[in-house]
Structure 1
């Protein structure tokens, strides 16, 4: 039996969390284009419970998440030590997630506490690496406003909160992508939640998955710094057999619906922050790539510029992806653990056969 490369299109299990059927992204049945203005807390609740919360439930859920956006002192001390290491931030995060599961002040974390700790830890890593003090969450703010404040040290405007909220919602889940499937495999063994998240972070680190956003901005920087014509740059890279990051998607052949929404945000925030030159480069590349290859931008393409406009170092872009995707990872971990079935596929052996170990006696 010949399988599609990378198991593309192969259905391996069922889920109620999200779907990309017919190239339409939905969360528990709700189209992403309708959820783009929903609060992040609403979307997290939806992913975890497969229904929208009532007004009272949302208020209580938001309050619970924000109340947990604090780390034990000894956890902060250990993160402060490893965050200063020269490794890539995703390597720091990989170790930090495992650390969160071993340095605790309660017997067992539940999903709300885990998500809150992940957001707080990621913000702490950014602050420590920038040589700045760790901030404290404001109990009167929502999750997104607090998160932006925790990693930036500045109280964001309502407009910026709305922008980042949309970014977090669009990145919250995407059915059985590489990192999510990795988390589900670990969850199927009945391992703990932090082991599942650590494995997911390892998968997300790769440039063909979450790491693509960093490569997108590296491309934009290279073009701007050298003054090279963007079309010439793209042609040169493709002539060398290099992939142009931020384009194409296995599922969305006619365009990633998330990229359509993010493009509007990227254009607006780039103008407001004096980064419109980068957006202009993106537009030239987008138009040429479609003409040359018929490929559309994916979720990473405009996210890279948006993160830059929030004054984030490009090396932290994939960590931000992890901050958003933790909600979806946990939703799938919950679902997989409830299912209670070990994921153990078989393989087709295509190596040598009928070989025998030489008899060395005599």
Structure 2
């Protein structure tokens, strides 16, 4: 049994030049660039180029990338049809799985290092279309394909909502996409890597990753964290709620703790700043932000001696709420951002270190049992 690593904790399954994490000091870098610098100075399109090609783009390279994205928002008619034919109470990630399953059947692209990155860029564009229309279908709105604009984030938000998107909303969405882009090999990335190791097409690998992300122990954390704020209701009730539910009730404080980080998640610090900025003129959003701030202080005072601090999901829900998205969309927005990270890992694995992922299990059943015919049992 000493050979077993439950949850594959700290088991290395690949090398990567994509993402560096220092869980002790709270450092996150993509391709060597600190997450704070990328959020402050870069755009999501620049990050797409960085993750897929290894370097930040020149202006010409960035323009060419944007053109490829703008040409790729359209999806097959069958995809829109399936999204709008499903009941409105369907889970959004389930809707996305269905959409990508259809595209896997229609496109079924083979691995080809001369085309892989173009396929990935097309998938990233189509993910915006699928995510926006999954939301619109659940809200009873008509289909809407993203249109070229100043940024991927603006195009996505304008396709989601029938309203003009402000510069700050577009910038915050851009920052959220950057923050959620990648985090090494969590459950969803690992699931997609297993699929990619069989040389399954990239669309099918996204389906595998979505299936893992759908679980409440992975992608649903932002939704659960925000539900806490809704349940508390007002800043004045935080202390009583914390005492009753967390201290005495022994419930888990959602949005706190991380398998890798033993200090404050650097993404959480940025999401807190974004939430603060976005809620200054949003009364309801501000109430949730103030609840979160008080809850954070109690959580840190209580759990920091154990190395448990806020993670990226603690404040992200407030950001998504302030942008206009309901709770049921938070995991889908996580998927929208993480699609880039998934694809970059799939390409890196297949092109550089491909080997079929085939682990073993330690057998603990009976050594031998004599078969007894059914008439003698």
- Shorter chain as normaliser: what TM range? over 0.9
| 2:265 paired with 1:242 | no
Aligned residue in 1 for 2:229: 220
CA contact (8 A) 1:135 1:153 kept: no
Q: Distance in 1 between matches of 2:252 and 2:5?
A: 21
Please state whether the residue corresponding to 1:51 is helix, strand or coil: coil
Asked whether the 8 Å contact 1:66–1:142 carries over to 2, the reply is no
Deviation at 1:106, TM superposition (A): 9.5
Counterpart CA distance in 2 for 1:2 and 1:233 is 42
SS at match of 2:280: helix
Structure-2 change in CA distance of 1:201 and 1:106 (3 Å): closer
The 2-side partners of 1:228 and 1:264 are apart by 22
* More divergent stretch after superposition (66-75 vs 164-173): 66-75
Q: Distance in 2 between matches of 1:202 and 1:110?
A: 21
The offset of 1:256, in angstroms, is 0.3
Structure 1 residue 57 corresponds to structure 2 residue 65: no
- Kindly report which structure 2 residues correspond to 1:60-75, keeping only aligned pairs within 5 A, or say none: 60-75=64-79
Using the TM superposition, give the Cα deviation of residue 154 of structure 1 relative to its aligned residue in structure 2, in angstroms.
Answer: 2.0
Report the counterpart of residue 323 of structure 2 in structure 1. 310
How far, CA to CA, are the matches of 1:6 and 1:101 in structure 2? 29
Matched with 2:34 is: 31
1:4 CA drift (Å): 4.6
Unaligned runs of 5+ in 1: none
1:198 to 204, 207, 214: 207
Whether 1:345 and 2:359 are equivalent positions in the alignment is yes
5 Å-filtered alignment, 1:1-362, equals 1-21=2-22, 23-37=26-40, 38-82=42-86, 84-103=87-106, 110-224=119-233, 229-238=237-246, 239-274=248-283, 275-294=285-304, 295-338=308-351, 339-349=353-363, 351-360=364-373
Q: How far off its partner does 1:173 sit?
A: 0.7
- The 1:17/1:61 distance shift into structure 2, 3 A limit, reads same
Q: Distance in 1 between matches of 2:250 and 2:142?
A: 44
In structure 2, C-alpha distance between the alignment counterparts of 1:320 and 1:150, rounded to whole Å: 14
Using the TM superposition, give the Cα deviation of residue 359 of structure 1 relative to its aligned residue in structure 2, in angstroms: 4.4
Shift of 1:31: 1.4
Q: Is the 8 A contact 1:72 1:104 kept in 2?
A: no
Take 2:221 and 2:231, find their aligned partners in 1: how far apart are those partners? 15
Is the partner of 1:232 in helix, strand or coil? helix
Mapped to 1, the partners of 2:172 and 2:206 lie a distance apart of 26
Partner SS, residue 342 of structure 2? helix
Q: Could you tell which deviates more after superposition, 129-138 or 57-66?
A: 129-138
Question: Residues of 2 paired with 1:334 and 1:106: CA distance?
Answer: 13
**More deviation, 216-225/177-186:** 216-225
**How far did residue 170 of structure 1 move?**
0.6
Q: Which moved more, 1:40-49 or 1:84-93?
A: 84-93
Measure the CA separation in 2 of the matches of 1:167 and 1:91: 22
CA distance in 1, matches of 2:132, 2:370: 56
For each residue in 1:134-157, what CA deviation from the matched residue of structure 2 results, as whole angstroms up to 9, or x when unmatched? Answer: 334332432111011111222211
**Quick one: distance in 2 between partners of 1:312 and 1:264?**
19
Summarize the Cα distance change of 1:44–1:58 in structure 2 as closer, same or farther, 3 Å threshold: same
Q: How far is the alpha carbon of 1:261 from its aligned partner?
A: 0.7
Unaligned runs of 5+ in 2: none
Root-mean-square deviation (CA, aligned residues, Å) is 2.2
Cα distance in 2, alignment partners of residues 267 and 34 from structure 1: 19
1 CA distance for matches of 2:180 and 2:315?
A: 12
Secondary structure of 2:165's match?
coil
1:301 positional shift? 0.8
Alignment TM-score, normalising by the size of structure 2 = 0.89
